[in-house]
Amino acid sequence: MQRYGKAGGFGLAALFIALIIALPYVEATGADPQIVGVGDAVWYALVTVTTVGYGDLSPKTPLGKAIGAFFVLASLGILGVLIGQVGGALASRRERRRLGHFGYTGQNHVVVLGYNPLARGVIEELVEADLGVVVVTPQRDEVDLIREVFGQRVFPLYARYDDEEAMAHARLPLASRVLLALDEDTGSLVTLLRLKRAHPELPVVASVANRELVDAFRGAGADHVISTGEVTAALVASLVFEPDVARFARDMITADEGEDGEDGCDMQQYEVTQGHPFDGATFAEAHRELYARHRVVAVAIARASVGGRPRELVGLPDDDAIVRAADHLLVVARESSQSALERDLFGVSQGVGR
């Protein structure tokens, strides 16, 4: 079909050229011709096709007028084609922008693959923590839904997970980590393998419905694997026989306010940078300083990865445990304390890779 369209275009162009060349000869058969050369014919065709119509030149013979009528009718078609092409190009550009195909421009962001109730809840928490978020979905209708829910705070991208060209718009090499939140574990595992093959150093958090697949996901390269059913079951069971513990744990991992709109507690983690006062200090010293200055309680140390070994989490460390640069301190703090901790004490944003 495209071949026939091109052939028709070439044929129409050839007809135009032939009529322009023929017009002076046709007009020469009449009396007092105005179009006496090819230059006059080109000028006449140009002002006619562009609908300018100066009127300084016009055919006099019947056949010349027929050629002029062809030029007039052709101008309508040419303008229609041009308007259609321009309109189509603008519509295509708007659609590409809507689908995220101009690409995300930030970095150190979180890329979420999939959009479902779990992903939506995670995205709400990430947005609350002021993190950049790119949500990749293979469903066109979900792009508008994501924009409706999160507005400009989240960048939705329409792409198949196996489409490397479309996935490039998510800027995966510059992301801090990826969350796999697909509905099917099998598809999620295949996507994980493909992702780790292309970006082996990119941290990946995967959620799975079937707890028996946790080891398979870890073997495929996932840095953290969460069995959603297992976590839900544990929380519900805790609500049955230790409801206050369960409620406190829930408050620790959500960005919700406390009861009656009070400033709720939150579990946060901060990196200890090179040369920071806590670099080389004992855990007891860091604990005392945090509580004295900000009423913040340190509860654990996340040891930095060394020599390719995974990060080690040490809960309630001994008092003489040494805190080192690149370690993270995990603390329980009021949500209102976050800005002071980031600005005045640690000098970095909470979280990993920020």
For 181-229, the pLDDT digits (tens) are 999 999 999 999 999 999 999 999 999 988 899 999 999 999 999 887 7
**Domains in the chain, please, with CATH?**
2-98 (1.10.287.70), 110-231 (3.40.50.720), 263-346 (3.30.70.1450)
Q: Any residues with CB less than 8 A from the CB of 188 and at least 6 apart, and which?
A: 114, 180, 182, 206, 207, 208, 217
* 68-77, 145-154, 157-166: segment of lowest average pLDDT: 68-77
Encoded tokens for 75: 């101008």
Q: What is the pTM of this model?
A: 0.65
246 three-state secondary structure: helix
Determine the distance from the C-alpha atom of residue 343 to the mean position of all C-alpha atoms in its chain, rounded to a whole number.
28
pLDDT of 1 over the 50 cut: no
Supply the pLDDT for residue 282. Answer: 95
Ramachandran area for residue 98 (φ above 0: left; ψ -120 to 50: alpha; else beta): alpha
- List, in sequence order, every beta strand (DSSP E) within 139-190: 154-158, 177-180
Taking CA atoms, 9 is separated from 13, 68, 75, 77, 78, in Å, by: 6, 20, 14, 12, 11
266 three-state secondary structure: strand
Other Cβ atoms less than 10 A from the Cβ of 16: the count is 16
* 50-64, 177-191, 241-255: segment of lowest average pLDDT: 241-255
Supply the pLDDT for residue 24. Answer: 87
Is the distance from CB of 33 to CB of 60 less than 8 angstroms?
yes
The DSSP secondary-structure symbol of 321 reads P
Is the distance from CB of 129 to CB of 270 less than 8 angstroms?
no
Mean pLDDT of 135-139: 96
